[in-house]
Amino acid sequence: MSSKVFINGEFYDKEDAKISVFDKGFLYGDGVFEGIRAYDGKIFKLDEHVDRLFEGARAIMLEPPYAKEEIKRIIMETCRINNVKDAYIRPVLSRGIGDLGLNPFLAKKASFVVIVDKLVMYPQEIYEKGMPVIVASTVRSSLNALPPVIKSLNYLNSILAKIEAANAGVPEAVMLNESGFVSECTGDNIFIVRKGVLITPPREAGILEGITRKTVIEIAKKHGIPVEERLFPKIDLYIADEIFLTGTGAEVVPVTSVDKRIIGNGEPGKITKFILEEYRKLTKTEGTPIY
Ligand code: PMP
């Protein structure tokens, strides 16, 4: 059955879900989006995702066409109309239709779209055995250029690094910032474990402040695992005891090699496995019910 897509107040069949070529989101990547996940009929961290969407919109002076509560209601409604329990949910706010110039204020009204789709997950094998990554030569956008804290429709910086990953035959690439410190991956945050301490790059490293990242930090603190948010260089990846990536779709993914250096003993580490287990417990118990 074809899925239904919400576009500016109406639901359309997937095949007919279209946006104008004059939309600034299409022409310039002028907009923001979210990636949300529903587990067994409940939307995980809905408020956090909608808050981040609105923060991004505020940063780029984009006036959402609906209030926050209305946006949440539309997201729930789109899940209901698609009759889903487990899903990937993609709300998109784009600047809307204007002329071909750059001035965003000539667009009269922002567009709001919600797509509900099947989850595209990493294969189960990766959770059991871990995955290889590379460090990309493409540097993460600077905070004062295209700030990674905004989940904008312009993902070319990530895509350039993803091309490097794909060409190297690995699923993900780690990106360094302009100062050579580790920032994040193309679509996931990164954690390393060194001598029992969980370390993750801070906001100022140039990262999207992942909602999964925040949840993982909370899990670690709750269970007495020391956590440090601090800058670290590429070499610390090579000598880490454990590495894992976090993201809404990915959850907690073990990394077992970086640029062909084997991490730890080449298998998902103890802390990684513990955090993944605790994270999955939360996804089973928390969330906003759709029905
Ligand atoms: N970094 C980037 C660049 C991302 O696109 C994402 C989301 N896919 C993340 C990190 C993880 O964020 P979250 O945990 O909120 O999904």
CATH number, domain of 13, equals 3.30.470.10
* Residue where one domain finishes, among candidates 63, 85, 117: 117
pTM over 0.85: yes
Return the sign of the alpha-carbon dihedral for residues 257, 262, 268, 272. negative
94 Cβ below 6 A of ligand 1: no
Task: Count CA within 13 A, CB hemisphere, residue 54.
Answer: 14
Look up the domain containing 81 and give its range: 4-117
CA of 100 to the centre of ligand 1 (A): 30
- Quick one: 113 and 130 in the same domain? no
The answer as to whether 218 is a domain residue is: yes
247 Cβ below 6 A of ligand 1: yes
Mapped onto helix, strand or coil, the DSSP state of residue 255 is strand
- Quick one: 109 and 189 in the same domain? no
- Which of 119, 191, 217, 248 has most ligand 1 atoms within 8 Å of CB, for mutation? 248
pLDDT at 100: 95
* Residue where one domain finishes, among candidates 117, 139, 165: 117
252 Cβ below 6 A of ligand 1: no
Q: What CA–CA distance (Å, rounded) separates 174 from 262?
A: 15
Please confirm, yes or no, whether 234 is among the known catalytic residues: no
The answer as to whether 84 is a domain residue is: yes
The residue nearest atom 5 of ligand 1, judged by CA position, is 187
The residue nearest atom 7 of ligand 1, judged by CA position, is 187
- Quick one: 175 and 236 in the same domain? yes
* Residue where one domain finishes, among candidates 89, 117, 145: 117
- Quick one: 190 and 214 in the same domain? yes
The answer as to whether 37 is a domain residue is: yes
129-188 confidence digits (pLDDT tens) = 999 999 999 999 999 999 999 999 999 999 999 999 999 999 999 999 999 999 999 999
CA distances from 237 to 5, 86, 149, 157, 174 (A): 41, 34, 23, 21, 10
- Quick one: 22 and 159 in the same domain? no
- Cα three-residue angle 152-156-160, rounded to 5 degrees: 145
- For the chain, which residues score pLDDT lower than 50? none
- Quick one: 164 and 92 in the same domain? no
pLDDT at 1: 59
CA of 78 to the centre of ligand 1 (A): 22
116: number of Cβ within 10 Å: 23
CATH of the domain at 165: 3.20.10.10
Q: Is 31 exposed, middle or buried (0-12, 13-18, 19+ CB in 10 A)?
A: buried
H helix count then E strand count, the chain: 8, 17
Q: Where are the beta strands (DSSP E) in 8-122?
A: 10-13, 31-33, 36-39, 42-44, 87-94, 111-117
Question: Which of ligand 1's atoms lies nearest the C-alpha of 215?
Answer: 14
The answer as to whether 133 is a domain residue is: yes
- Quick one: 260 and 163 in the same domain? yes
**Tokens standing for residue 5:** 């897509």
**Tokens standing for residue 78:** 């789109």
Q: What CA–CA distance (Å, rounded) separates 169 from 183?
A: 21
pLDDT at 119: 85
The answer as to whether 63 is a domain residue is: yes
The phi, psi pair for 217, rounded to 5°, reads -60, -40
> In b/e form, how buried is each residue of 97-115, taking b as 16+ CB within 10 angstroms?
bbeeeeebeebeebbbbbb
246 Cβ below 6 A of ligand 1: yes
Total tally of structural domains belonging to the chain = 2
210 Cβ below 6 A of ligand 1: yes
- Quick one: 130 and 262 in the same domain? yes
The answer as to whether 110 is a domain residue is: yes
The alpha carbon of residue 1 and the mean position of all alpha carbons in its chain are separated, in whole angstroms, by 27
152 Cβ below 6 A of ligand 1: no
CA of 98 to the centre of ligand 1 (A): 29
264 Cβ below 6 A of ligand 1: no
Mapped onto helix, strand or coil, the DSSP state of residue 103 is coil
The answer as to whether 129 is a domain residue is: yes
Query: Which of the following is catalytic: 151, 221, 222, 281?
Result: 151
- Quick one: 276 and 226 in the same domain? yes
- Quick one: 74 and 168 in the same domain? no
Sequence-ordered alpha helix ranges (H) in 223-286: 235-238, 270-285
The residue nearest atom 10 of ligand 1, judged by CA position, is 188
The answer as to whether 174 is a domain residue is: yes
Helix (H) / strand (E) containing 25: helix 24-28
- Quick one: 54 and 17 in the same domain? yes
Question: Residue 231's closest CA among 204, 256, 194?
Answer: 204
- Quick one: 189 and 56 in the same domain? no
Q: What CA–CA distance (Å, rounded) separates 211 from 47?
A: 11
